[in-house]
Amino acid sequence: MKTIAFTGKRPQNLPWRFNEQDERCLQLKEQLKAEIEIRIKEGYTVFISGVALGIDTFAAEAVLELKSLYPHITLEAAIPCKSQSDKWNTEDRERYSVLLNQCDKTTYVGREYTSDCMMKRNKYMVDKADLLIAVSGELSGGTGATIRYANEKGVEVRVIQP
């Protein structure tokens, strides 16, 4: 089974920040969905998202939307710790809960929050992936570290500019 993992920026680090109705955000979501569909047609069937705010959520929602057309694909949520969403606002926690309930598999990489739990989650996803789709304008932060890790592991990386 060919597997894709996703990585990308949180909303506060995107050009439109939290405004998902911004035309640039809407275009990115469509571009991400189109990229996923291309990859499904190439034989990718397993998708892994960290389901964090921002790109992870957009990717998970795109996979779930495409699942209605391609029921053979699966979505795994790779969660860094049980408390991932504890500090999010109510709307974001509800969105997260809906996504988790629709996933085919949920993996908790760790139980408690630690300073490196997010990177452990990212490494878990890359270790399972044949392809990493990264939405990033630069190679900084956790997204950049994940891209570098994928390169070290020989995992193909497809970068989409936000």
Triad 60, 150, 105: Cα angle to 5°: 35
What residue spans of 42-89 are helical by DSSP H?
55-67
Which range is least confidently modeled, 1-15, 111-125, 134-148? 134-148
pLDDT of residue 89: 96
Q: What average pLDDT is seen over the chain?
A: 96
The count of domains in the chain is 1
Pairing of strands 74-79, 105-108: parallel
Domain span including residue 50: 2-160
C-alpha–C-alpha distance, residues 81 and 108, integer Å: 6
Rounded to a whole number of angstroms, the CA Rg of the chain reads: 14
C-alpha–C-alpha distance, residues 121 and 94, integer Å: 22
Q: What is the pTM of this model?
A: 0.96
133 versus 140: which is more confidently predicted? 133
C-alpha–C-alpha distance, residues 92 and 79, integer Å: 15
DSSP 112-143: S--TTHHHHHHHHHHHH-SEEEEE-SSS-HHH
- Over residues 142-152, the mean pLDDT reads 95
Q: What is the CATH number of the domain that holds 21?
A: 3.40.50.450
Is the pLDDT reported for residue 107 higher than 90? yes
Confidence of residue 13 (pLDDT cuts 50, 70, 90): confident
